[in-house]
Every structure is written in structure tokens, then in C-alpha cells.
Amino acid sequence: MSAETMRAIRFERYGGPDVLELGRAPVPVPGRRDVLVEVRAAAVNPVDCKFRAGTHRAVIRKTLPVTPGMDLSGVVRAVGAGVTDFRVGDAVFASPHHRRMGAYAELALVAERELAHKPERLDHVEAASLPLAALTAWDALVRHGRVQPGERVLIQAGAGGVGSIAIQLAKHLGAEVSTTASAANHELVRSLGADLAIDHHRERYEVAARGSDLVIDSLGPQHWRRALECVRPGGRIVALTTGLPDAVARRGPWLGLALAAAEIVLFTLRARVTRGVRFVAMAREPNGATLAKIARLVDTGAIRPVLDSVLPLSEAAEAHRRVETGRSRGKVVLSCG
Ligand SMILES: NC(=O)c1ccc[n+]([C@@H]2O[C@H](COP(=O)([O-])OP(=O)(O)OC[C@H]3O[C@@H](n4cnc5c(N)ncnc54)[C@H](OP(=O)(O)O)[C@@H]3O)[C@@H](O)[C@H]2O)c1
């Protein structure tokens, strides 16, 4: 770290949104294959809230104080000596690895391999809303879900940050898409391409979408059994959310982590043995090459961002409160310009 400082949101203890404070942090210095980005906008993800609350501290090891943020769009300020694909002044976007979280700041470091050029048709706020959600949607549908044209896919929480992108990507890949959303969000999810919108307050999705080839579950272990009812024998379930926050709240960070891991192993076996279903609990891979493919899909009009709200960086605590309602439509973004 250099002696120079920058504006940054930080927290010095785990807790509620009020632990987030605007202060000053050392400007990070790029290593050989790193890029220093002037952050113009940073999106807020549920994982930022979970980490701030302390539920992921056994998985994401950090020394406090921490600047959160795993989604950014901005302009390259400096590059390490070994960087070949980016130059000072390039407009870029990325979802940095959790070891490099820190996007709620004036400047952030990103490994070159995790960075991509920003889609041309988007401004920085729109671009910042995409990387983590779109990489997650890609990994769920393509890398783990191996979705094929004509397959039936159920995407949970279609109005959310991940769901709103996953619907569009699944349609682009030729799938038939069912999704769950409150009735007030049905128009939105249909406009994104969903063939069937299921009101999760009134209907049982495991009935409405029975026989799906693939279920993308973002709701957690209490929904896995229902996903297993919903998917056809021999199908696939990709889970984005584990029982870690609940287990940590009940049993503390270490035993909670062990219990959440055991739950995944047991359910994987159960799905395989009882229905021949492949169950995968995944974490998105920060990957610049995949992000570049996503940028092309944005520039050809196959994927568009969905913004819930835009707040200034100083209102990070309010942005976390909004995300923690569990009712945001698309992404909440912090404007850092
Ligand atoms: N494994 C990974 O790499 C990874 C990556 C990204 C996210 N995640 C996890 O995936 C989950 C979703 O992330 P996100 O960013 O999409 O969250 P989000 O944007 O906060 O999701 C909000 C949406 O969830 C919907 N929702 C809430 N309860 C629902 C229910 N019971 N049934 C259906 N929809 C419901 C709401 O829609 P309605 O108002 O219409 O109900 C709302 O639009 C989070 O737990 C997140 O941590 C994991």
C-alpha cells in the first residue's frame, strides 16, 4: 500500500448496515498482472450484506477494516508491468475475486484475467450492475447446468439481480424458461423473455414447472427438496445459495460452515440416488474471458441490465438495507462518479 489515500466505504466490525462508513483508505498499488481502476459505479450484491453481517467470515477470510464490493465499472488508472490487454483510459468492468473485494471506493484493484472491456452500449452504472450477476447466470446455465436448446429451465427469483439476467441468457441459449416472481413483477420477467411466470405467493412452482430439465435455485436449502420434485428424473439442479448464513447464525462461523457443507454433501447423494439428478452448489468464477462474451451479448442486444435503484457511494448503508429487503427488482448500484 502507498501513503496516498482515497474515499472508500469501510466497516471495522461485523454488523448491520450502519457499520458501513464513508472514510479514507490507502490507495492500492497494482502488482505485475493487476489493473487499478477508477471506479465510476459499484453494484451491491446480497453476498456483500452477508459478508458485512459476518455470516461468511469463515469462508471469506479478511482482516478488518474491510471495503466491500465485488462488482464495478470504471476507467483504467494504472496497469502493472505484465498487463498486456488493458491500457490507461480503457473503460472496463469486472467482478473481482472476493480476496480482492473493495469496489465501494474511488479506486479498486482487479487482476487482469478478471477484467473485460465495458459493453459499449452501456453507461458505467448499467455496466456495474452486470458482472457478478451475469457471471453467476453464465456459470449456472452453461458451465454447471449445461443447458441445451429446447430444454425446460426453471429460474427462481426471476426479478432479482441474478434471475433477471439468467432469464435473458437462457432464452438466448434456446431454452424454454419458467420463473418465479411476485405478481407485480410478472410484466418485468415476461419482458425479459420468460415463457411462464409463476406467482410464488399463490402457486406451487414444483407443480407449475414439473418436469423441468434444469432448476436454477437461488432460494436456499429449504427449497432444494421442492426443486427435486420439480426436476425430471435424470435432470440437474444448480444451487446458488447454501444454508451458511442460517447455520452460522445458529452455530457460529466454524461449526456453521461444517454443517452447511454436510447439508450439501447429503443432498447431492440424495438427489443422485433417489432421482438420478445431478445437484451442484456453485460459486461464480470471476473470469474476464466469460465477461467479454457477456459484453458481446449486451452489445448485440441479447442481454440488458435491470436497475432497481442508483444511490451515491455515501449511501451504501441505505443500499444494503434495500438489498436486504429481498424485494429489489434487478440491481441496486452505487454511483461513485
Ligand atoms: N453462488 C453464487 O456465486 C451466487 C452469486 C450471486 C448470487 N448468489 C445468491 O443468490 C441469491 C439471489 O441473488 P440475487 O442477487 O438475485 O438476489 P436479489 O436481487 O436480492 O433477489 C431479489 C429478488 O428475489 C425475489 N424473491 C424473494 N423471495 C422469493 C421467493 N420466495 N420466490 C421467488 N422469488 C423471490 C424477489 O422477487 P419478488 O419480489 O418478485 O418475489 C426479488 O426481486 C442470493 O442469496 C445470493 O447471495 C449466489
* pLDDT digits 0-9 by tens, 73-125: 999 999 999 999 999 999 999 999 998 999 999 999 999 999 999 999 999 99
Taking 70 as the threshold, does the pLDDT of residue 4 lie above it? Answer: yes
Query: What nine digits make up the cell of 160?
Result: 432479482
Identify which of 196, 241, 284 to mutate to test ligand 1's pocket (most ligand atoms within 8 A of the CB): 241
Residue located nearest, by CA, to atom 39 of ligand 1: 327
Q: Could you identify the atom of ligand 1 that is nearest to the CA of residue 180? A: 33
Identify which of 136, 205, 224, 324 to mutate to test ligand 1's pocket (most ligand atoms within 8 A of the CB): 136
Q: Could you identify the atom of ligand 1 that is nearest to the CA of residue 50? A: 47
Strands 5-10 and 91-94: what pairing?
unpaired
Q: Where does ligand 1 bind, in terms of residues with CB under 6 Å?
A: 45-47, 132-133, 136, 156-157, 159-163, 180-182, 185, 200, 218-219, 240-241, 282-284, 323, 326-329
HSE at residue 109, side-chain half, CA atoms within 13 A, is: 17
pLDDT in tens, 259-274: 999 999 999 999 999 9
80 or 61, which is more confident: 80
Q: Could you identify the atom of ligand 1 that is nearest to the CA of residue 157? A: 34
Percent with pLDDT over 70 in the chain = 99
How many Å apart are CA 133 and CA 283, to the nearest integer? 11
Q: Average pLDDT, whole number, for the chain?
A: 96
The mean per-residue pLDDT over the stretch 13-22 comes to 97
Its sign, for the CA torsion 311, 13, 66, 48, is negative
1 pLDDT tier (thresholds 50, 70, 90): very low
The reported pTM is 0.97
pLDDT in tens, 307-322: 999 999 999 999 999 9
CA 60-61-62 angle, 5° bins: 110
Q: Which of 56-65, 91-100, 118-127, 278-287 has the lowest mean pLDDT?
A: 56-65
How many Å apart are CA 195 and CA 307, to the nearest integer? 22
User: Are 72 and 108 in contact, with CB atoms under 8 Å apart?
Assistant: yes
3-class DSSP assignment, residue 249: helix
- The rounded Å distance from CA 326 to ligand 1 centre is 7
Identify which of 129, 191, 200 to mutate to test ligand 1's pocket (most ligand atoms within 8 A of the CB): 200
Strands (E), the chain: 5-10, 21-26, 34-44, 72-79, 91-94, 107-111, 115-117, 152-155, 176-180, 196-198, 212-217, 231-239, 278-281, 307-312, 331-335
Identify which of 47, 135, 185, 282 to mutate to test ligand 1's pocket (most ligand atoms within 8 A of the CB): 47
